[in-house]
């Protein structure tokens, strides 16, 4: 019964001491009961007093009855709190006395209807969802309109210090590329709402950190938000890691090295704490974040270009060194006999690099461009000694799409533009197979397997010999 605090005792004393029915006391009792209403297996019927200008029965008797009912409710909740956690449903039974039974000289007043707690909760949730939608759309004016003028804002994680900060805060969040993903809001008691979402930004993507589990605990009263807390956490639940990862280990060292004179204007004294919500601060964040991201783009482009260079050098070990642990790979030229994509662990980049070397594979005219943070797309034309000997330059428009974080390739998608139709599988593969069948039929089982080209040491030696044999008479064509 620990949650029934001194306030409830005061409410009961108020009932006993008050000479007339008190709506204030009744509402206070309802509030305290509602705060305990988290047990689904028990339903308690409350007898709601009939408000009248003059009591039809002695006031002291009514008050004593109300106090007795309250004591029963308190006892029931105490028993529940000692057992398994269940939920308590509180319903109201209207005890309005019909006018025909009113005592002489009294007036019956119809009971007034009050909004249900479920309806109030739904209204609070709708307001909270509107607030997050405004934040996600960087609509600071709309967010400001939902917050009471005297709202309490917990600044440590919300950044804003007053409701009037929201227009500038939205500009700051736009500069960060802040994203409020998959929001879900749940109503609590007394106008409380808790909204959870997944936090991501251009900075988190570029730095390879997050995304973060985050939440807005809000309080709503009279159609406005009166209390705002903003928690940014990680999957491990450690509050503040967003700031540690993104600022302390991320952009702040870069600012110290490149724009030390601006740091105090952007984050207050000695450049610590959340970003300042001032026009000057927002302008500096808008200027420096793109510069910071551009530095990552250059590094990411270099990784992608290193991959192309290693492929053209037929250096499988160098290719492998560019990947993160357990990367995702989807390669049109790495499929099994059923057409299923081979996983990263199934691709032998060292052996395939050797095969590319003996057959003269080259990724021609590569062009790489940075896209969203951490993503690079490179296009190229594919060729080898056989296509060059035939003058066949059809294999254009191929691409690699890289997702890069912390200087390593986390994801690679290789799209071969022609695909299997009138492309690699139906042309150059068939050309080589037909030529080997016609000229060295005894070596076909060694050079080809069910899926494509065999890459055993014996096969590689034959491919090197026969590639030169095929290309020599066609040189200069």
When the pLDDT of each residue in the chain is averaged and rounded to a whole number, the result is 76
- Answer yes or no: is pLDDT of 99 > 80: no
Are 20 and 145 in a shared domain? no
In a domain? residue 299: no
Which of residues 72, 106, 140 is at a domain's end?
106
Lowest-confidence pick of 61-65, 246-250, 411-415: 61-65
Are 132 and 236 in a shared domain? yes
In a domain? residue 12: yes
In a domain? residue 251: yes
pTM check: above 0.85? no
What is the rounded CA–CA span in Å between residue 196 and residue 133?
Answer: 13
Which of residues 205, 239, 261 is at a domain's end?
261
Beta bridge partners of 218: 193, 228
Q: What is the CATH number of the domain that holds 174?
A: 3.10.450.50
pLDDT of residue 3: 40
pLDDT of residue 32: 44
In a domain? residue 234: yes
* Eight-state DSSP code of residue 97: P
Are 388 and 422 in a shared domain? yes
In a domain? residue 186: yes
Q: pLDDT-based confidence at 424, cuts 50/70/90? A: low
Are 173 and 242 in a shared domain? yes
Contacts of 93 (CB under 8 A, 6+ apart): 45, 46, 47, 48
What is the rounded CA–CA span in Å between residue 345 and residue 323?
Answer: 12
Lowest-confidence pick of 5-14, 69-78, 240-249: 69-78
Are 133 and 77 in a shared domain? no
Beta bridge partners of 212: 199
Can you tell me whether residue 151 is helix, strand or coil?
strand
Are 64 and 154 in a shared domain? no
In a domain? residue 460: yes
Are 214 and 331 in a shared domain? no
Q: pLDDT-based confidence at 48, cuts 50/70/90? A: very low
Are 128 and 48 in a shared domain? no
Take residue 158 and report the two structure tokens written for it.
Answer: 């919300």
pLDDT of residue 180: 93
Domain count, the chain: 3
Are 152 and 101 in a shared domain? no
Give tens-digit pLDDT for 242-294. Answer: 878 888 888 988 899 899 999 888 986 555 677 889 999 999 999 999 999 88
Per-residue buried b or exposed e for 110-145, using 16+ beta carbons within 10 Å of the residue's own CB: eeeeeeeeeebbebbbebbebbbebbbebebebbbe
Which of residues 58, 74, 106 is at a domain's end?
106
Beta bridge partners of 185: 195
Are 15 and 125 in a shared domain? no
Lowest-confidence pick of 108-117, 245-254, 346-355, 369-378: 108-117
Domain with 54, as residue range(s), is 6-106
In a domain? residue 163: yes
Are 338 and 218 in a shared domain? no
Are 54 and 145 in a shared domain? no
What is the rounded radius of gyration, in angstroms, for the C-alpha atoms of the chain? 36
Give tens-digit pLDDT for 203-227. Answer: 988 887 888 888 889 999 999 999 9
Which one has a higher pLDDT value, 17 or 83?
A: 17
In a domain? residue 362: yes
């Amino acid at each position: 019964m620990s949650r029934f605090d001194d306030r409830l005792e005061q409410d009961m004393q108020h009932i006993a001491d008050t000479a007339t029915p008190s709506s204030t006391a009744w509402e206070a009792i309802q509030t305290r009961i509602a705060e305990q209403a988290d047990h689904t297996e028990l339903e308690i019927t409350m007898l709601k007093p009939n408000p009248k200008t003059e009591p039809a029965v002695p006031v002291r008797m009514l008050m004593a009855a109300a106090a007795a009912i309250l004591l029963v409710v308190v006892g029931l909740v105490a028993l529940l709190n000692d057992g398994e956690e269940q939920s308590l449903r509180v319903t109201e039974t209207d005890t309005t006395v019909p006018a025909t039974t009113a005592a002489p000289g009294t007036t019956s007043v119809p009971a007034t209807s009050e909004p249900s707690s479920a309806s109030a909760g739904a209204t609070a949730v709708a307001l909270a969802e509107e607030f997050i939608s405004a934040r996600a759309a960087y609509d600071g004016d709309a967010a400001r309109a939902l917050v009471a003028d005297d709202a309490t804002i917990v600044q440590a994680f919300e950044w804003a210090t007053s409701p009037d900060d929201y227009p500038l805060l939205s500009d700051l969040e736009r500069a960060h590329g802040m994203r409020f993903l998959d929001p879900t809001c749940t109503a609590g008691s007394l106008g409380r709402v808790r909204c959870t979402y997944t936090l991501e930004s251009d900075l988190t993507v570029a730095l390879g950190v997050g995304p973060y589990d985050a939440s807005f605990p809000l309080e709503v009263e009279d159609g406005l938000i009166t209390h705002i807390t903003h928690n940014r956490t990680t999957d491990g639940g450690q509050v503040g890691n967003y700031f540690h990862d993104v600022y302390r280990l991320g952009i702040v060292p870069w600012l110290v090295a490149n724009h030390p004179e601006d740091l105090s204007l952007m984050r207050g004294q000695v450049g610590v704490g959340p970003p300042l919500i001032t026009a000057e601060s927002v302008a500096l964040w808008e200027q420096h974040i793109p510069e910071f991201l551009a530095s990552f783009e250059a590094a990411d482009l270099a990784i992608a270009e290193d991959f192309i260079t290693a492929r053209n050098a037929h250096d499988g070990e160098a290719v492998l060194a560019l990947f993160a642990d357990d990367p995702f790979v989807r390669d049109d030229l790495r499929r099994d006999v059923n057409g299923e994509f081979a996983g990263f662990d199934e691709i032998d980049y060292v052996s395939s690099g050797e095969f590319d070397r003996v057959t003269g594979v080259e990724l021609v005219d590569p062009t790489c461009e940075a896209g969203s943070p951490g993503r690079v797309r490179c296009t190229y034309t594919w060729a080898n000694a056989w296509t060059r000997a035939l003058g066949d330059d059809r294999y254009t428009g191929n691409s690699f799409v890289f997702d890069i974080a912390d200087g390593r390739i986390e994801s690679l998608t290789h799209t071969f533009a022609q695909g299997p139709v009138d492309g690699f599988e139906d042309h150059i593969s068939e050309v080589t197979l037909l030529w080997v069948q016609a000229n060295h039929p005894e070596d076909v089982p060694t050079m080809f397997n069910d899926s494509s080209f065999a890459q055993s040491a014996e096969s590689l030696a034959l491919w090197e010999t026969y590639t030169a044999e095929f290309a020599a008479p066609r040189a200069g064509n």
